């Protein structure tokens, strides 16, 4: 049986990944900071999934968990932050730094703390975003953050081989990340965004999770960033 650790697995894309990997028979561990969210997620997945409360930015906590469940065959990191969007001229530097603190640094910290506990044939799968390449006005900050995540993939795939390292680069996804918006505002935004996409739909967490599961499990994939964006890059 393979052991999977999904850091950020208590919501959205990570939760869908955990559900799909559990469905394939993996021993799945999910981690997030909020205990209530973690309990809701383990109940939603059911079965043998194990939940853990930790902050990915805390290397000692990640290393302790990773050591306990080692060897880890599939490490998936799906942390989401909230800042970094807006025209560069208006973006406070402190806000952009905070955005890196929310997504980039915890991703690197968790990955680094897990390395010694990965199996010999393990996979690592990260999540960037279409903003890394879409050239959309107002995304220089958040785009550079996601480019930094995606930029880890190729050098690390070479450095850690035969451990495989990949990432997905999604566009808009309907997940709890959008819960900060009023429901009507969210629906109107999604409707407008979907109309502009070649696929005419907003991705579900399950769509993105299927790609992550492919990257995490297919032994021939390494050093790859798969765009799963509904064709957003064709129109940006």
Ligand X SMILES: NC(=O)c1ccc[n+]([C@@H]2O[C@H](COP(=O)([O-])OP(=O)(O)OC[C@H]3O[C@@H](n4cnc5c(N)ncnc54)[C@H](OP(=O)(O)O)[C@@H]3O)[C@@H](O)[C@H]2O)c1
Per CB under 6 A, residues contacting ligand X are: 7-8, 10-14, 31-34, 37, 55-57, 78-80, 103, 106, 127, 129, 170, 172-173, 175-177
Q: Among residues 177 and 201, whose Cβ is nearest to ligand X?
A: 177
What is the smallest separation between the CB atom of 132 and ligand X, expressed in angstroms?
Answer: 10
Nearer to ligand X, 34 or 121 (CB): 34
Q: Considering the complex, what minimum distance in angstroms separates the CB of residue 162 from ligand X?
A: 26
Picking from 140, 147, 134, the residue whose alpha carbon sits closest to that of residue 93 is 140
| Measured distance CA(94)–CA(194) in Å, rounded | 32
Q: What residue number has its CB nearest to ligand X?
A: 12
C-alpha distances (whole Å) from 63 to each of 42, 56, 119, 219 are 21, 10, 14, 25
Looking at the Cβ atoms of 122 and 205, the one nearer to ligand X is: 205
| C-beta atoms surrounding 198 within 10 Å | 12
Q: How far apart are the first and last CA of the chain?
A: 42
Identify which of residues 103 and 117 has a Cβ nearer to ligand X in the complex: 103
Query: Least distance to ligand X from the beta carbon of 120, Å?
Result: 26
Cα separation of 28 and 45, whole Å?
10
| Shortest distance, position 173 Cβ to ligand X, whole Å | 4
């Amino acid at each position: 049986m393979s052991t999977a650790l999904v850091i950020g697995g208590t919501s959205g894309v990570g939760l869908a990944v955990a559900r799909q990997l559990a469905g394939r028979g993996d021993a799945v561990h999910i981690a997030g900071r909020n205990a209530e969210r973690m309990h809701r997620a383990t109940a939603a997945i059911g079965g043998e999934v194990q939940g853990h409360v930790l902050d990915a930015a805390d290397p000692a906590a990640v290393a302790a968990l990773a050591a306990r469940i080692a060897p880890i065959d599939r490490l998936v990191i799906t942390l989401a932050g909230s800042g970094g969007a807006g025209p560069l001229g208006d973006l406070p530097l402190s806000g952009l730094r905070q955005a890196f603190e929310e997504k980039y640094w915890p991703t690197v910290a968790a990955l680094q703390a897990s390395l010694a506990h990965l199996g010999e044939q393990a996979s690592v799968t990260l999540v960037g975003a279409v903003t890394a390449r879409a050239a959309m006005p107002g995304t220089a900050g958040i785009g550079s953050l996601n480019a930094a995540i995606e930029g880890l993939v190729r050098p690390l795939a070479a450095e850690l081989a035969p451990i495989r390292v990949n990432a997905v680069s999604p566009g808009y996804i309907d997940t709890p990340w959008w819960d900060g918006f009023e429901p009507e505002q969210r629906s109107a935004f999604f409707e407008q965004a979907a109309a502009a996409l070649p696929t005419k739909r907003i991705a579900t967490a399950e769509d993105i999770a299927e790609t992550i599961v492919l990257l995490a499990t297919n032994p021939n994939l390494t050093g790859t960033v798969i765009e799963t964006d509904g064709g957003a890059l064709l129109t940006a």
